[in-house]
Chains A and B, each alone.
Chain A
Amino acid sequence: MKRLLLAGLMALAPICAETIVIQNATIMTVTKGTIKNGSVVVRDGKIVEVGEKVMIPEGATKIDAQGQYVIPGIIDCHSHIAGDGGINEGSVSVSSMVNIKDIINPEDIAIYRALAGGVTTANILHGSANSIGGQTIVLKMRWGKDAQSMIFEGAKPGIKFALGENPKRAGNPQGRGANGQQPFARYPATRMGVEDTIREAFNEAKIYKAEWDEYNAKAARGEHPMPPRKDLKLEALKEVLEGNRYVHIHCYRADEILMMIRVADDMGFKVRTFQHVLEGYKVAKEIAAHGAGASTFSDWWSYKMEAFDAIPYNAALMTKAGVVVSLNSDDAELMRHLNSEAGKTMKYGGMTEDQALAMVTLNPAKQLGIDNRVGSIEAGKDADLVIYDKYPLSDFAKVQKVLIDGTVYFDRDKEVSAQAAKDAEKQKLLDKLKQESQQPGNGRGRGRGGN
């Protein structure tokens, strides 16, 4: 019985193959067009060859994908899965001292489900409760590995900012208190206050940076000055000023997008991505001029006042204005079908197949600065690949297999066939535990059966 249990767990763990060839598939490379009836060769975690005719290395594991499609692993630029103990440090308006990296939960089942939806990489963000939120991290969905092994090695870390209703909401003293606690008023309570909070924080960070720069200069001259106090909150903003940390900004309205561009220009940093950015189509030129990316929804809106003036053409219009656009999930469920979200931009806005697919692969890779590693099917890139049974930019496509670094992490056939055994195993254990807990005087817990 114990063995069976172990076997059940092992089935979840990825199988590792040195060399894999996916054959007879329609390969949508994103950057180099679509190859009908082609092959991808994977070795040591990397793509080594893509084409109609490839050299098949001896001893390679062959995956016959006859009639199936291969796309690059999907990248979600905005997710909140895989965290332990809350994704908002909303008690303060500037919480740049907290870091998602500290709370990675590799056991979150949402990781496996995202994997089953073709996602291989996700940008895990702090929530939007405050003007300046916590530090963020890019993960690969290496289900079964420990927390540190999930981290996309070398990907530049980020930080979450938020504008509008969410960060100013907690400023309302009439608001609800969580857990029955008394509500409290937290500055800011207005959009003006949000801007001020961000400016103030950067003014502080600049002073902090100047102190450290002075200290470092003195130390370089051979002096022995007392180092300034290290402040985790300002340290992260100092990294933003130095260009070592990407800024991802939760926003909706056109006016606040322009406000944010002004603030960034004044303070001397770049916005890496505007997130949600439902009114981005109104200020697409300005976003493009700033050099920021935009990560939006295909057709999800009207869930609050500031999210009403939205259109399904947003992604396409911003793309046409020269913005690098991605489609994100912000949600563990939506995360599982980003492929069909991409497909919607072909209907609304006339994106080409490659343009549409790029919105969930290459473009988010660019936005996260990892497009040298992932985002398209090219020799030399990481072997993060998804095999679909049908045309992937549709609701009817089902993920068959997912590879990350050349390792199969999801296999639909295996998953489906193992399901019944897993359910039975669980029910058996549940029954056993129920039975044990009903026996009086068995020593489980306190007070049971007594007094």
Chain B
Amino acid sequence: MKLATALLLFAACVFAAEPSTVAVRNARIVTVSGPVIAKGTVVVRNGLIEAVGENVTIPEDAFIVEGEGLTVYPGLIDSLSTVGFANAAASTAAAGGRGGRGAQTAVATAAAPRSMGPEDRPQTTSWESAADEISASDSRIPAVRSAGVTTAATFPTRGIFGGQGSIIDLISGEKPGEMVVVPTIGQYISVGRGGFGGGGGGGGYPGSLMGYIAYVRQVYLDADHYKMAMAAWDKDPRSMERPMYDRALEGVLASKRILLPANREVEIDRMLRFAAELKQPAILYGGHEAYKPEAAELLKKSNMSMLVSLRWPELPRGEIDPDNEPTMRALETIHKAPAAGAALQKAGVKFAFYTDGIDQPRELQRAVKRAIDAGLSREDAIRAMTLTPAEIYGVADRMGSIEKGKIGNLVVTRGDLFDDRAQVLWVIVDGRQYKPETGGQGNGRGPATEQPGNPGGNR
């Protein structure tokens, strides 16, 4: 099964290509930025949306997709991802479980050398940029694309200051550079959770949550001081000793914004305060307890955007240990986390979903469906994966909706996106067409065969 999936996925990447003009006609068009067009046409030429509307002339050279009975959406944006990093852990855990030793941390790839103290900064690679590190051959690219994800905000996640994230379009290009839409969109910061030993037993500094916080705080104090010293030296280089160039601080200072983890209400409160203290533009990620109106209200008050993980919490598998039963609070979070979107929407908080490593199309659909079932409107769910993430990262001028001049990223489906029976038929990224891989879609559970009358049908 796995092998077959891999082969099919491979076939899917090979398939993508020319022609450079595509038109989807007679389809229902969900533009997101404007009203839904009941029956219209979208033309994508040279990677950009050339025209959209009810009466659009289709260029002669266009490859035509018959959209009768189909729906076109803007390409989905995964607002926090590691796609493109072939060795990265898929999940960018916002925080560990409740209490005890931290379950997952976002530390990926090879372990950093043990730090002897706050002065060595082995957990800072702030200068690195996803744009420089991604690989076009990451097998997760065709996988998530099959779910309709055309774009990802992808981040290096090792250490504490992982590096600069980038917006990338999920094309199967030869050179990774082709994928990059915006090379630097912000700094990913992860904050581990220590156990009782807090690093005393073998890890380096920091080994506890308070250590992580102190580490980040010190880095920003140093960055401020560095900036001041550099400016003074620049102004009058003959008056003082030359400050030492520090790439870690350069990277920190170059960050447009920081991403801080916050799942529980307590963490949201803590990180809102921390972001204010650091005086950095910030976005929080995690958000599972944002279903609580109090938590949503805190975010609203700080005018903070939240990235909500679609990996909803679950009961521990198997029999529950009666001595270690989840608390009422934990059960409530499992029960209500998918309502985070609805609660944030109601409170007027800007939020976007992120896949958190869910790369099977059917599972992604189901995860979003649970948010819809918990009270989020379908329109708002779509917005949280299209225009809102584009706004959060300041790229709504070029993507996130179906508008003339925006990047030609589209998803063509049969049925409503995020419905159990919805099928993604075509994914268009930068104007290139991709046929999603159905083998990977069903995972043995969903409809595994294509419906008759599939447009193109030439595979």
Contact = CB atoms under 8 A, between A and B. Distances in A.
Interface of A: 5, 83-92, 95, 97-100, 102-103, 105-107, 109, 126-127, 129-130, 134, 146-148, 170, 175-179, 181-184, 186, 226-227, 229-233, 422, 425-426, 429-430, 432-434, 437, 440-447, 449-451
B197 A88 contact: yes
A426 B331 CA distance: 8
A85 B208 contact: yes
B177 interface: no
Residue from A85, A176, A232, A434 having most chain B Cβ neighbours under 10 A = A85
A99 B216 CA distance: 13
Interface string B102-134: 100000000000111110000000000000000
Interface in B195-233: 195-214, 217-218, 221-222, 225, 228-229, 232
B36 interface: no
B315 A177 contact: no
Contact of B198 (A127, A182, A422, A426): A127
B94 to A, nearest CB: 13
A86 B198 contact: yes
Contacts, number: 208
B434 interface: no
Given A230-B221, A433-B334, 12 more contacts: A83-B210, A86-B208, A89-B210, A90-B208, A91-B207, A134-B210, A178-B197, A178-B202, A433-B315, A434-B320, A443-B420, A450-B444
28 contacts: A85-B194, A85-B210, A86-B193, A88-B199, A89-B205, A89-B210, A89-B211, A89-B214, A90-B200, A90-B207, A91-B203, A92-B116, A98-B211, A99-B213, A99-B214, A100-B210, A102-B274, A103-B213, A126-B210, A134-B210, A147-B270, A179-B101, A181-B202, A183-B202, A227-B228, A229-B225, A434-B315, A443-B370
Interface string B312-335: 101100001000011111011011
Nearest to A134: B210
B202 A146 contact: no
A179 B195 contact: yes
A432 B101 CA distance: 27
A390 B265 CA distance: 39
Contacts of B315: 433-434, 437
Query: Size band of the B side of the interface?
Result: 35 or more
B363 interface: yes
B44 to A, nearest CB: 32
A177 B201 contact: yes
Nearest to A433: B315
Nearest to B232: A226
B269 A86 contact: no
Contacts of B367: 443
Contacts of A5: 332
A86 B195 contact: yes
A89 B206 contact: yes
Contacts of A127: 196, 198
Contacts of B445: 440-441, 449-450
A116 B91 CA distance: 40
Residue from B270, B273, B370 having most chain A Cβ neighbours under 10 A = B270
B360 interface: yes
Residue from B199, B225, B335 having most chain A Cβ neighbours under 10 A = B199
Contact of B202 (A88, A177, A434): A177
A103 B207 CA distance: 13
Given A146-B269, A433-B335, A451-B443, A178 B208 contact: no
B335 A102 contact: no
Given A227-B225, A229-B222, A230-B225, A91 B210 contact: no
Contacts of A183: 201-202
Given A90-B200, A178-B195, A98 B210 contact: yes
Counting from the closest, the 3 A-B pairs by CB-CB distance are A85-B209, A90-B200, A178-B201
A240 B197 CA distance: 26
Nearest to A181: B202
Nearest to A178: B201
A181 B2 CA distance: 34
Nearest to B102: A85
Contact of B200 (A97, A130, A148): A130
Contacts of B331: 426, 429-430, 433
A207 B203 CA distance: 30
B266 interface: yes
A98 B1 contact: no
A86 B443 contact: no
Contacts of A134: 210
Nearest to B200: A90
Given A5-B332, A89-B206, A147 B198 contact: no
B218 A84 contact: no
B242 interface: no
A146 B295 CA distance: 11
A107 B204 CA distance: 28
B358 interface: yes
Contacts of A106: 266
B378 interface: no
Contacts of A230: 221, 225
Contacts of A425: 328
A451 B210 contact: no
Given A146-B269, A433-B335, A443-B367, A451 B221 contact: no
Interface in B349-364: 358, 360, 363
Contact of B369 (A86, A89, A429, A443): A443
B14 interface: no
Contacts of A129: 197-198, 200
A238 to B, nearest CB: 14
Contacts of A445: 312, 314, 363
Interface string B421-434: 00000000000000
A232 B163 CA distance: 24
B221 A232 contact: yes
B3 interface: no
B196 A87 contact: yes
B327 A181 contact: no
A288 B385 CA distance: 66
Nearest to A449: B445
B200 A178 contact: yes
A421 B457 CA distance: 60
B266 A147 contact: yes
A131 to B, nearest CB: 12
B366 interface: yes
Given A103-B209, A230-B221, A451-B1, A89 B266 contact: no
B301 to A, nearest CB: 12
B199 A89 contact: yes
